[in-house]
Amino acid sequence: MPQDMPLIPIFPPVLARIFAPLPLLPLSLSLTAYSKRVANKHPGLFRRLGEHDHARYILDPTDLPFVICLEPKGGTPRVFAIRGSAEGDARIAGPLAALLGLVHGAFDGDALFFSRDLVIEGDTAAALALRNAVDDAELDISEEIAAMSGPFAQPLQRLFAFIQGRSGVFLSRPEEATLW
Amino acid sequence: MVMEIVCPAGTPAALRAAVRAGAHTIYCGFADETNARNFPGLNFDRTEMREGVAFAHGHGSKVLVAINTYPRAGSEHIWHSAVSDAASAGADAVILADPGLLDYAARHHPQLRRHLSVQAAAANADVINFYAQSFGVKRVVLPRVLSVAEIVAINAQTEVETEVFVFGGLCVMAEGRCSLSSYATGRSPNMNGVCSPASHVEYHESNGTLDARLGGYAIHRVGKDEPAPYPTLCKGCFSAGEKSGHLFEDPVSLNAEQLIPQLQKAGVTALKIEGRQRSRSYVAQVVRNFRAAVDALDAGLPMPQGMLARLSEGQAVTTGAYKKTWR
């Protein structure tokens, strides 16, 4: 990936349309289970949220037909996906690939904001606290999901690596040499 | 001798990223009002500081602890304990601005090396020598208002090591004395550790136009394809009558990468990168670029061409006051 102009892949609109009518409850349950695992493994993430650890965050992947509500609840998080608009203390919006790149420390949040790839609305301090807390946690979504998947761990990791290689979307924490 | 790269770390993860990317030295602060980057979600608690120092030392890097705000009368103990805790964490130096705190550190922790923060705005040899004689300051971080020729003149008149900013956000001309943020929000980098605090920042986007406000004041309005600004008053775009413009400074970042050979000839000891509020991705990328630059200089090779503009505020860079072209 060139250092001066990273490309933020956009989720294919055809696939987004296919996902549009699917029920979101399984996704919400999976996201909450995943976030509870993160809370156990990275308690410092919630500590870093400080006074914002009971805020409601709206994470809006602008190329998908739903938004994700994140409620840290002081370390017992709840995460769910809903269609349409949602109310929250802070909204962080951008292509799914930008949000995943931020989580994995592949992209710099300020740089994405300066370039208008990322939009922040509402409580800027809450958004900043979440950005900084996630950046410090050094999360790896592929690794965490694989660890939750028992015998499917290795095939899943291979699948994630394949998708990452083909799409350019950071599904795992990159080697530092590839960061920009 | 290779020039020392001094890198920012707002979190333990950023500190580790800086060390792995080749930082000689990392500067960071405690998660309170004692340092000038007191932002939500940033900085180190006491345990993290001890672990961070141990990690850096284990990889041959140094850690400087910035305690560079000005203590409030009656609450000096917060700043005093920060100095003591930095010493017990094994910090290689503390970066201080307040004369009273410098005096405290010199009296109670004489073995702890003392650097003078840019927040002290020490911009001439006389004042630098005063801090050295009075408080045993070994290094000064020069304010971003000096040309290379002026840095040469200062180094000729002092034994104190000089450290200069080479990359990152630019600050208004009298650091440590600026009241613009206080005017708009009641909070300042000097006393509270926050310039233009995020708690007072609001963004509104409508039809591609982005409004950025600070403390209720409109600071910027940018169109669809323009870079987004952070609403600091000193970099605001203001309208009066028929004219609009950046009254104090343009929203650009400093990049003095290509001036490193001149800075070395000027007698500068260390090159400082701004950005404790930035991500570990930023830290790793900028450190790698500057480490490559000083290593190339040391080896007598041409300076590599950097590609860091996208990481910069305004997505544009300047050599700042080092090459003065005042309007």
pLDDT in tens, chain A (180 residues): 434 445 789 998 998 888 888 899 999 999 999 999 999 999 999 999 999 999 999 999 999 999 999 999 999 999 999 998 889 999 999 999 999 999 999 999 988 998 899 999 999 999 999 999 999 999 999 998 888 888 889 999 999 999 998 888 999 988 764 444
State whether the Cα torsion A88-A94-A96-A99 is positive or negative.
negative
Domain that includes residue A35, residue range: 13-139
Those residues with Cβ within 8 angstroms of residue B326's Cβ, 6 or more apart along the chain or in another chain: none
ipTM of the complex, rounded to two decimals: 0.90
Total of domains in chain B: 2
**B42 and B131 fall within a common domain:** yes
Closest CA to B166 of B300, B281, B297, B41: B297
Give A84-106 as a DSSP string.
S----SEEEEE-HHHHHHHHTTS
Judged by CB atoms closer than 8 Å, whether chains meet at B13 and A138 is answered as yes
Where in chain B does DSSP place strands (E)? 4-8, 25-28, 62-67, 93-96, 113-116, 139-141, 161-169, 201-206, 209-214, 217-222, 237-240, 243-246, 253-255, 270-273, 317-318
The per-residue pLDDT for B89 is 98
**B18 and B113 fall within a common domain:** yes
Instruction: Report if residue A161 sits inside a domain.
Output: no
**B96 and B40 fall within a common domain:** yes
Domain that includes residue B213, residue range: 180-246
| Residue that has been written with the tokens 């050599």 in this structure | B319
Closest approach of chain A CAs to the CA of B27, in angstroms? Answer: 16
CATH (domain of A69): 3.30.1050.10
For B314, nearest residue in chain A (alpha carbons): A114
Instruction: Report if residue B189 sits inside a domain.
Output: yes
Q: Which residues of B touch A48 (CB under 8 A)?
A: 11, 41
**B190 and B226 fall within a common domain:** yes
Closest CA to B274 of B118, B147, B128, B131: B118
**B77 and B149 fall within a common domain:** yes
* Average pLDDT of every residue of chain A: 89
Say whether residue A175 is in contact with chain B using an 8 A CB cutoff.
Answer: no
Instruction: Report if residue A5 sits inside a domain.
Output: no
Closest CB to B310: pick one of A52, A111, A131: A111
**B196 and B166 fall within a common domain:** no
Total of domains in chain A: 1
CA distances from B271 to B185, B264, B275, B290 (A): 32, 9, 13, 9
Instruction: Report if residue B175 sits inside a domain.
Output: no
Those residues with Cβ within 8 angstroms of residue A102's Cβ, 6 or more apart along the chain or in another chain: A109, A112, A118, A131, A134, A135, B279
Q: Judge contact between B39 and A128, C-beta under 8 A.
A: yes
Instruction: Please give chain B's pLDDT, 327 residues, in tens.
Output: 899 999 999 999 999 999 999 999 999 999 999 998 899 999 999 999 999 999 999 999 999 999 999 999 999 999 999 999 999 999 999 999 999 999 999 999 999 999 999 999 999 999 999 999 999 999 999 998 899 999 999 999 999 999 999 998 887 667 778 888 999 999 988 888 888 999 999 998 888 889 999 999 999 888 888 888 888 888 888 888 888 888 788 888 888 988 999 999 999 999 999 999 999 999 998 999 899 999 999 999 888 876 565 565 555 677 777 776 555
Cα–Cα dist B124/B258, whole Å: 24
Cα–Cα dist B42/B78, whole Å: 18
Judged by CB atoms closer than 8 Å, whether chains meet at A6 and B310 is answered as yes
Those residues with Cβ within 8 angstroms of residue A123's Cβ, 6 or more apart along the chain or in another chain: A52, A55, A89, A90, B199
Say whether residue A131 is in contact with chain B using an 8 A CB cutoff.
Answer: yes
Question: Which of the 8 DSSP states describes residue B225?
Answer: T
What's the farthest any 2 CA atoms get from each other in chain A?
43
